[in-house]
């Protein structure tokens, strides 16, 4: 089979692909808090991949949409395509952010991160099947419903399944460049810093208080100096809590949560210890720090990357690898020693943002390259 047959097939089926993508994007699926809606989205995937011939196992979950695992073919397990169908958008977002196409751009909640990548996986296999070009091996898919909230309920399942395969292809989005995939991802640590002070009436006895709110403010400014001076690490406070609104009270406790991204393993060890050993900056405050490294560094497999790079040339793609701060389930599989490539999905901008979009004119070439890679693994 010549590569132009794959590309031609995908170009000829682009209207169908976009219709499928629109249906998928319109099925809302937040990470948590909307299980019925999320399971409806998962059933859509179960049905679509079953129709291709995948043997599907639904892995029931209590806290999020059910995970979907499937495989097609016989013999050795060559490649597992990994993706998540949950999004960061609450139910109802589709009313203000509907799926729509304008010229060569398509919009919608989760279309880039990462429902588009799952549809690419579907059409890559569909193209191989209909062109009689499936490999003499098994291809798997794993679609989880909780990646945006940390893959707490899916991490171990992904690693269990991925360990049976020779490679993992993560269908997370690329960037705003047809020629790029993600060959490196920062590791992540999540921390909660809790300040314990002394409560008091905020009008009559302010002199008796030891304010944890002031301590939290000092700690945030202190850590902001780290963010500006330490290379290869980002410190991002994400939540601040303290006090009871409507009361005349300086609280006893306040806290903030922080997302920290690390470029290297050496930085992880050093900065983790510095955070865990933070000391109070206000007399009388007791500081408590909770946290862990929840995602290791991701480094793509160089042999897999070179193989895809050569394949991509046949479709007019001059492939390059980039390193980004965001994490994925590829962090787990790569750290477990399973050859992994990431960022193979659609291209675009503004993930986790009302402006989120994809480039339609990049889809056929990138999907054709993915299909060709699957056929050769």
Which tens digits make up the pLDDT trace of 83-115? 999 999 999 999 999 999 999 999 999 999 999
One domain, residues 178 and 70? yes
Return the structure tokens found at 164: 């049976």
Give the separation between CA 250 and CA 227, rounded to whole angstroms: 29
Looking at the predicted structure, is the pLDDT value of residue 299 above 60? yes
Helix/strand/coil for 112: helix
Span 317-343, pLDDT tens digits: 999 999 999 999 999 999 999 999 999
Give the separation between CA 71 and CA 141, rounded to whole angstroms: 6
One domain, residues 165 and 81? yes
One domain, residues 202 and 154? no
One domain, residues 259 and 248? yes
CA dihedral 321, 323, 119, 108 (to 10 degrees): -130
**Domain stop point among 244, 260, 295:** 295
Nearest C-alpha neighbor of 138 from the set 56, 72, 53, 49:
72
One domain, residues 168 and 197? no
Contact 359, 116 (CB under 8 A): no
Q: Estimate to the nearest angstrom the gap between the alpha carbon of 1 and the chain centroid.
A: 34
Nearest C-alpha neighbor of 238 from the set 352, 331, 356:
352
Supply the pLDDT for residue 269.
87
The number of domains in the chain is: 2
Supply the pLDDT for residue 1.
43
Span 6-27, pLDDT tens digits: 999 999 999 999 999 999 999 9
Return the structure tokens found at 212: 């944890």
Return the structure tokens found at 226: 């780290």
Span 182-224, pLDDT tens digits: 999 999 999 999 999 999 999 999 999 999 999 999 999 999 9
One domain, residues 10 and 99? yes
Contact 178, 364 (CB under 8 A): no
Supply the pLDDT for residue 2.
52
Span 29-55, pLDDT tens digits: 999 889 999 999 999 999 999 999 999
Looking at the predicted structure, is the pLDDT value of residue 238 above 90? yes
Angle subtended at Cα 304 by Cα 301 and Cα 305, rounded to the nearest 5 degrees: 80
Looking at the predicted structure, is the pLDDT value of residue 4 above 90? no
Helix/strand/coil for 74: coil
**Domain stop point among 246, 273, 295:** 295
Give the separation between CA 119 and CA 25, rounded to whole angstroms: 10
Supply the pLDDT for residue 3.
64
Helix/strand/coil for 315: coil
Residues 6+ apart with CB under 8 A from 61: 35, 67, 145, 146, 153
Give the separation between CA 45 and CA 68, rounded to whole angstroms: 8
One domain, residues 194 and 166? no
One domain, residues 231 and 132? no
One domain, residues 219 and 273? yes
pLDDT above 90 coverage of the chain, percent? 96
Surface-to-core class of residue 161, CB atoms within 10 Å of its CB (0-12 exposed, 13-18 middle, 19+ buried): buried
One domain, residues 306 and 328? yes
Nearest C-alpha neighbor of 136 from the set 74, 79, 80:
74
Contact 256, 219 (CB under 8 A): yes
Q: Estimate to the nearest angstrom the gap between the alpha carbon of 168 and the chain centroid.
A: 15
Return the structure tokens found at 266: 């050496």
Supply the pLDDT for residue 266.
86
**Domain stop point among 272, 295, 318:** 295
Which residue has 């690329």 as its token pair?
174
Instruction: Please state the rounded mean pLDDT for residues 171-191.
Output: 97
Instruction: Please state the rounded mean pLDDT for residues 346-375.
Output: 98
Give the separation between CA 250 and CA 271, rounded to whole angstroms: 32
One domain, residues 26 and 70? yes
Contact 100, 14 (CB under 8 A): no
Return the structure tokens found at 100: 């729509």
Which residue has 């390193």 as its token pair?
323
Instruction: Please state the rounded mean pLDDT for residues 347-363.
Output: 97
Q: Please list the alpha-helical segments (H only) found in the chain.
A: 3-12, 14-25, 35-52, 93-96, 116-130, 155-162, 212-229, 265-276, 302-313, 330-335, 363-376
Return the structure tokens found at 33: 């808090």
What domain range includes position 59?
3-185+297-376
Span 243-292, pLDDT tens digits: 999 999 999 999 999 999 999 888 888 999 999 999 999 999 999 999 99
Residues 6+ apart with CB under 8 A from 330: 82, 168, 170, 172, 182, 185, 298, 300, 340, 341, 342
CA dihedral 215, 218, 222, 227 (to 10 degrees): 100
Supply the pLDDT for residue 265.
87
The domain that holds 64 is classified in CATH as 3.40.630.10
One domain, residues 150 and 213? no
């Amino acid at each position: 089979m010549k590569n132009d047959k794959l590309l031609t097939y995908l170009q000829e089926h682009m209207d169908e692909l976009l219709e499928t993508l629109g249906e998928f994007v319109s099925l809302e699926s937040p990470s948590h808090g909307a299980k019925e809606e999320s399971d409806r989205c998962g059933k859509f995937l179960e049905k679509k991949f079953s129709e291709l011939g995948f043997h599907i196992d639904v892995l029931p979950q209590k806290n999020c949409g059910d995970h979907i695992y499937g495989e097609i073919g016989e013999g050795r397990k060559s490649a597992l395509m990994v993706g998540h169908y949950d999004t960061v958008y609450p139910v109802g977002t589709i009313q203000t952010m509907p799926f729509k196409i304008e010229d060569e751009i398509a919009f919608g909640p989760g279309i880039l991160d990462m429902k588009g990548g799952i549809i690419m996986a579907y059409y890559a296999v569909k193209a191989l099947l209909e062109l009689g070009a499936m490999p003499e091996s098994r291809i798997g898919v794993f679609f989880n419903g909780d990646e945006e909230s940390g893959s707490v309920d899916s991490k171990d399942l992904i690693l269990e399944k991925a360990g049976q395969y020779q490679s993992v292809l993560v269908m997370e989005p690329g960037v705003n460049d047809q020629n790029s995939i993600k060959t490196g991802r920062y590791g992540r640590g999540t921390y909660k810093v809790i300040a314990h002070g002394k409560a008091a009436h905020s009008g009559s006895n302010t002199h008796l208080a030891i304010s944890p709110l002031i301590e939290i403010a000092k700690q945030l400014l202190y850590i902001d100096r780290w963010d500006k001076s330490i290379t290869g690490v980002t410190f991002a406070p994400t939540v601040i809590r303290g006090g009871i609104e409507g009361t005349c009270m300086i609280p006893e406790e306040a806290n903030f949560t922080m997302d920290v991204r690390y470029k290297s393993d050496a930085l992880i060890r050093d900065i983790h210890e510095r955070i865990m050993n933070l000391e109070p900056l206000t007399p009388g405050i007791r500081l408590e720090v909770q946290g862990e490294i929840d995602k290791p560094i991701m480094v793509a497999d160089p042999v897999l990357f070179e193989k895809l790079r050569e394949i991509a040339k046949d479709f007019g793609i001059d492939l390059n690898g980039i390193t980004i701060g965001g994490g994925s389930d590829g962090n787990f599989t790569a750290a477990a020693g399973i050859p992994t490539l990431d960022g193979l999905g659609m291209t675009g901008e503004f993930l986790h943002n009302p402006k989120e979009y994809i480039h339609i004119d990049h889809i056929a070439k990138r999907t054709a390259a993915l299909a060709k890679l699957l056929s050769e693994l």
